[in-house]
Structure 1
Amino acid sequence: MTLGQKIRELREQAGLKQRELAYQLGIGEGFLSKVENDQKPLKREDLTKLNELFKIPIEELESLWLANKLYSIVRDEESALTALKVAEEQVKYKSLKNA
């Protein structure tokens, strides 16, 4: 699931229209539509607003946000999966080293 899909799901479960959620986030309705369709990125600070509105763990929102960011970087690369695996190992190594 992408961040945009998650936002749409949360909005629909809450019975909100796009314009209502867009207003609460302080963004345009057209921009929110593009976020929900994974055509535009949401700002990281908007995750806190979503967390407060929908009572969803901020860690879940941040994971989806970061995944979208990573995907936008590697999506057209032939060795994307290999690069992501290497990055995963680097993160694991750094976590172990700092523990």
Structure 2
Amino acid sequence: MKKQPLTSFSEHIRNLRETAELSLRQVAGELNIDPSLLAKFERNERQPTKYFIKLIADYYHIDNNELLREFLSDQIAYKMLDEYDGLEILKVAEEKILYLKSKKQ
């Protein structure tokens, strides 16, 4: 399977719309949201809710979890972008996730 080029969440949802040759108004109308809000999501000026991410995934018939991973990984990447030890912080965070998951079970 060929790996897709790395893009941000906002670029990804814009690419989905443009590849389908749809206007902002068309997609926004189908999703029952204001076109200016969709444009802000596509320009990374506003952050969507999980509900909106599910709407987009359903609309384009793509995996919701995949799109949610794309969004959440952006959030983490932007937080770590200016940190000197960003990658080391991510390694520690991974260990903490495993620890916290084991405590939940």
Give the TM-score normalised by structure 1.
0.78
Picking from 85, 89, 92, the partner of 1:86 is 92
Report how far residue 89 of structure 1 moved. Answer: 2.5
Counting matched residue pairs gives 98
1:50 aligned onto 2:56:
yes
Judging changes above 3 Å, is the alpha-carbon distance between structure 1 residues 76 and 12 closer, same or farther for their aligned structure 2 residues? same
Contact 1:44 1:65 in 2 (8 A): no
Match of 1:37, as an amino acid?
R
Matches of 1:48 and 1:92 in 2, distance apart?
26
Matches of 2:34 and 2:20 in 1, distance apart?
19
Of structures 1 and 2, the one with the larger relative CO (CA 8 A, separation 6+) is 1
Report how far residue 94 of structure 1 moved. Answer: 4.7
Match of 2:97, as an amino acid?
V
After alignment, is 49-58 or 68-77 more displaced? 68-77
Matches of 2:13 and 2:35 in 1, distance apart?
13
Identity fraction in percent: 29
5+ residue gaps, structure 2 = 1-6
Output aligned runs, 1:1-99, within 5 Å. 1-94=7-100, 97=102
Instruction: State the secondary structure of the residue aligned to 1:42.
Output: coil
What is the alpha-carbon root mean square deviation over aligned residues?
A: 2.1
Give the TM-score normalised by structure 2.
0.75
Instruction: State the secondary structure of the residue aligned to 1:31.
Output: helix
